[in-house]
Chain A
Amino acid sequence: MQRVKKFIENVGWPRILIALFLLSLFVIAPFVGVRLDASINDTLVRFGMNGVLVLAMVPMVQSGCGLNFGLPLGIIAGLLGAVTSVELEVTGLAGVLTAMLIATPIAVFLGWCYGLLLNKVKGSEMMIATYVGFSSVAFMCIMWLALPYSSPNMVWGYAGRGLRTTISVEAFWQNAISRFASFRINEFLAVPTGMFIVFLLLCGAMSLFMRTRTGTAMTIVGSNPEYARASGVNIDKMRTLSVILSTWLGAIGIIMYEQSFGFIQLYMGPFYMAFPAVAAILIGGASVKKAGIVNVIVGTILFQGILTMTPSVINSMIQTDMSEVIRIIVSNGMILYALTRATKGRS
């Protein structure tokens, strides 16, 4: 009994309630006409799609920069990589790798600048991150129109220049990673093992990194800056490194997302993309000051699960399409809950 109590205290009632809710949705599904195998398939796919974006939250939380609401910066780097890869007409796995390779230096550069900015505004990172993210998306809107891309798959047919809002990658590298080592169970359920492999590899790499000297230094900078300063750790450098890591993971994350989704979304697409990632990691048990790999995995499963199941089940039950509204309420509700739980473990 004691161990159960301790487990509940550690995990926290809200998380348990959410897990139970998700479970109940899966149980109800068949009874309201929603195919269980299709649902599991959707959940698995969304888990793989979003996992890396959620993982991108970890470095910055650990180093004390708060939740990375400025994820759009990394996403933009990834978008540039993806678009260039399509322009170069590289297909398959090579296409994905090209995208990632191109995105990486961009992400590192953007992350570095972003890190410098955040170092000047310690204490108000989250608010500024949000608006820097928005401004950069808006700025890129201008860029997408002006940049000299010419591939007929991507530009507006009428004018001949300027990228379209949504670019399909079906002919290039859709599911290139997902299909890798995937196996099909039945007509509705295929496990996209490729994505899981990449995701888990990155999680493992992050986990190992966090145990290295640099990684632990980063964590100390977040949890106890005075001690870090006394130990001779360069706080600003560690924070910038965490921002670069986060931005890079954001770039990789959006490429993973796109290869599964099948479309590159430009212009206002990345505008709100930080919020689901934030909500996911918070559901997974992370706080504004501490986040681990377990939080990422658990959070992504729970969040994407609820986002997949709730609309389809409720839509079938009430015969109306409420998915958008439910999505808004659930994801923002989660972020709110985490933001208001601040007081525990505050230094």
Chain B
Amino acid sequence: MNSSKNLKMFLIRNAVPIVFILVSAAAIPFSQFSADYLIQEMLVRLSRNSFLVLSLLVPIMAGMGLNFGMVLGAMAGQIGLIFVSDWNVVGLHGLVLAAIIATPLAIVFGWICGVVLNKARGREMVTSYILGFFMNGVYQLVVLYGFGAVVPISSPKLLLSRGYGIRNTLNLDTLRRCLDDLVRCEIAGIQIPLATFAVIGVFCLFILWFRRTKLGQDMRATGQDMAVAESAGIPVLHTRVISIVISTVLASYGQIIFLQNVGTLNTYNSHEQAGVFAIASLLVGGASVSRASILNVFVGVILFHLMFVVSPMAGKYLTGDAQIGEFFRVFVSYGIISLALVLHAWRRHADREAARAHFRGQNSDKEAK
């Protein structure tokens, strides 16, 4: 009796990853990919994307919901890479330097984001979403018009033919895979970028440690209930801003790791998808807007990217049209986020309605106003 109720709870709670596993399992045979290829692809994508998704954990802890503002961090990371490319600093040194340049930028962006979100309490997610677009406009303004004109760029191969503005595509050959290839390891013909995973591992430890620090506890309290936290003396507004700052800085590092694997910087596009994919991955992993764990991150990245890789090919072989597969992938990405958001909101709403009905039922003679 109890176990069937538990099973039901488990299914509802993890509806999203379960749906995903089913869809992927159905699609894999259609896509005609070999197991070897898929395992290698998933490893690469894990090493590439996990950091970005992990950066979303901190704001969720602080009750800020899904930080679409991580796009700002990605932009900061990219600006760091542009400078490093221009100054021709190569290899791991270049990567670290890019991170160092990106950090103050990301702190400023994160600060702005945090302050704006505090002003839009109750609608953090929509606001961070729009803020991402807005900052994208500012980023384009600076990078497409300011770089080369106001900001000195010495290397002409980075600039557009008109003399100012960064090119659409930057080759990151000098930095390509410098972290991935640092410690090479091969098992059964599958390459494993140990160094990158080591960095990710360190980050996970950092998160676990952070949860226990005073700041971490403050954030969790703020996330649970702002009013209670405030009365307990926690500077809630400040804590919320800090959570966004941390997330943005980490997102900038994550974007740098992502780009060193890809090897090419699409100056005006690379960051746009970073936000959507990271959030989709997290939701697919079973996280909700108010609760997310490290397990959600890794499960989510694997499942989301599995679907991502498999669906275009499956669509092509199923319907004879590769385009449909592409669109299917976009549809599932956004549909999954909708589904997860709906489930979360529905649960929250149902809880509140139940509480209110209970309240009203008890106090039927005095109307609660």
Residues of A within 8 A of B (CB): 69, 117, 120-124, 126-128, 130-132, 134-135, 138-139, 141-142, 145-146, 226, 230, 275, 288, 320, 322, 324-326, 328-329, 332-333, 335-336, 339-343
- Structural contact, A329 and B138, CB atoms closer than 8 A: yes
- Structural contact, A328 and B127, CB atoms closer than 8 A: no
Q: Does B323 contact A (CB under 8 A)?
A: yes
Taking the closest CB of chain B, its distance from the CB of A248, in whole angstroms, is: 22
**Which of B140, B145, B345 lies in contact with A124, CB distance below 8 A?**
B345
- Structural contact, B328 and A142, CB atoms closer than 8 A: yes
- Structural contact, A329 and B331, CB atoms closer than 8 A: no
Knowing A138-B327, A226-B369 are in contact, say whether A340-B116 is a contact too (CB < 8 A).
Answer: yes
- 10 further A-B contacts with Cβ under 8 Å, apart from A127-B125, A329-B137, A340-B119, are A123-B352, A130-B126, A130-B129, A131-B341, A141-B327, A145-B324, A328-B137, A332-B137, A336-B131, A342-B121
- Structural contact, A124 and B341, CB atoms closer than 8 A: yes
Q: Does B23 contact A (CB under 8 A)?
A: no
Knowing A325-B137, A329-B137, A332-B137 are in contact, say whether A342-B327 is a contact too (CB < 8 A).
Answer: no
- Structural contact, A340 and B126, CB atoms closer than 8 A: no
Knowing A332-B133, A339-B126 are in contact, say whether A325-B144 is a contact too (CB < 8 A).
Answer: yes
Q: Does B93 contact A (CB under 8 A)?
A: no
Residues on the B chain within 8 Å of A333, using CB: 134
Knowing A230-B367, A329-B137 are in contact, say whether A288-B330 is a contact too (CB < 8 A).
Answer: no
Residues on the A chain within 8 Å of B179, using CB: none
Contact residues of B between 153 and 198, Cβ < 8 Å to A: none
- Structural contact, A329 and B141, CB atoms closer than 8 A: yes
Taking the closest CB of chain A, its distance from the CB of B109, in whole angstroms, is: 14
- Structural contact, B331 and A121, CB atoms closer than 8 A: no
Taking the closest CB of chain B, its distance from the CB of A327, in whole angstroms, is: 8
Taken together as a complex, chains A and B put the C-alpha atoms of A288 and B123 apart, in Å, by 10
- Structural contact, B334 and A134, CB atoms closer than 8 A: yes
- Structural contact, A128 and B342, CB atoms closer than 8 A: yes
- Structural contact, B327 and A339, CB atoms closer than 8 A: no
- Structural contact, A126 and B126, CB atoms closer than 8 A: yes
Which chain A residue lies CB-closest to B337? Answer: A131
15 contacts between A and B (CB under 8 A): A123-B349, A124-B345, A131-B334, A134-B338, A135-B331, A138-B331, A146-B324, A275-B130, A322-B145, A328-B133, A332-B134, A336-B116, A336-B131, A339-B120, A342-B120
Taking the closest CB of chain B, its distance from the CB of A190, in whole angstroms, is: 32
Residues on the B chain within 8 Å of A142, using CB: 324, 327-328, 331
Taken together as a complex, chains A and B put the C-alpha atoms of A138 and B333 apart, in Å, by 9
Which chain B residue lies CB-closest to A131? Answer: B338
Taking the closest CB of chain B, its distance from the CB of A3, in whole angstroms, is: 30
- Structural contact, A120 and B119, CB atoms closer than 8 A: no
**Which of B330, B335, B337, B345 lies in contact with A121, CB distance below 8 A?**
B345
Taking the closest CB of chain A, its distance from the CB of B2, in whole angstroms, is: 28
Knowing A328-B137, A329-B137 are in contact, say whether A127-B126 is a contact too (CB < 8 A).
Answer: yes
Residues on the A chain within 8 Å of B367, using CB: 230
- Structural contact, B137 and A135, CB atoms closer than 8 A: no
Q: Does B122 contact A (CB under 8 A)?
A: yes
Taking the closest CB of chain B, its distance from the CB of A69, in whole angstroms, is: 7
Taken together as a complex, chains A and B put the C-alpha atoms of A132 and B134 apart, in Å, by 22
Taken together as a complex, chains A and B put the C-alpha atoms of A139 and B328 apart, in Å, by 7
Residues on the B chain within 8 Å of A322, using CB: 141, 145
Find the residue from A117, A128, A131, A230 having the highest chain B CB count within 10 A: A131
Which chain B residue lies CB-closest to A127? Answer: B125
- Structural contact, B345 and A339, CB atoms closer than 8 A: no
Residues on the A chain within 8 Å of B333, using CB: 138
Q: Does B346 contact A (CB under 8 A)?
A: yes
Taken together as a complex, chains A and B put the C-alpha atoms of A325 and B142 apart, in Å, by 10
Which chain A residue lies CB-closest to B123? Answer: A339
Taken together as a complex, chains A and B put the C-alpha atoms of A144 and B127 apart, in Å, by 32
**Which of A122, A138, A343 lies in contact with B330, CB distance below 8 A?**
A138
Knowing A131-B338, A135-B331, A142-B324 are in contact, say whether A342-B122 is a contact too (CB < 8 A).
Answer: yes
What 6 A-B pairs have minimum CB-CB distances, sorted nearest first?
A328-B137, A121-B345, A138-B331, A329-B137, A124-B345, A332-B134
Taken together as a complex, chains A and B put the C-alpha atoms of A138 and B332 apart, in Å, by 8
Taken together as a complex, chains A and B put the C-alpha atoms of A325 and B143 apart, in Å, by 11
- Structural contact, A336 and B334, CB atoms closer than 8 A: no
- Structural contact, A135 and B126, CB atoms closer than 8 A: no
Knowing A138-B335, A145-B321, A340-B116 are in contact, say whether A120-B137 is a contact too (CB < 8 A).
Answer: no
- Structural contact, A120 and B346, CB atoms closer than 8 A: yes
Which chain B residue lies CB-closest to A288? Answer: B123
Taken together as a complex, chains A and B put the C-alpha atoms of A17 and B134 apart, in Å, by 20
Taken together as a complex, chains A and B put the C-alpha atoms of A117 and B123 apart, in Å, by 19
Taken together as a complex, chains A and B put the C-alpha atoms of A335 and B133 apart, in Å, by 11
- Structural contact, A329 and B120, CB atoms closer than 8 A: no
Taken together as a complex, chains A and B put the C-alpha atoms of A100 and B7 apart, in Å, by 49
Contact residues of B between 320 and 369, Cβ < 8 Å to A: 321, 323-324, 327-328, 330-331, 333-335, 337-338, 341-342, 344-346, 348-349, 352, 367, 369
Taking the closest CB of chain A, its distance from the CB of B347, in whole angstroms, is: 10
- Structural contact, A123 and B120, CB atoms closer than 8 A: no
Residues on the B chain within 8 Å of A127, using CB: 125-126, 129, 341
Taking the closest CB of chain A, its distance from the CB of B166, in whole angstroms, is: 14
Residues on the B chain within 8 Å of A131, using CB: 334, 337-338, 341
Q: Does B31 contact A (CB under 8 A)?
A: no
Which chain B residue lies CB-closest to A121? Answer: B345
**Which of B121, B126, B134 lies in contact with A328, CB distance below 8 A?**
B134
Taking the closest CB of chain A, its distance from the CB of B348, in whole angstroms, is: 7
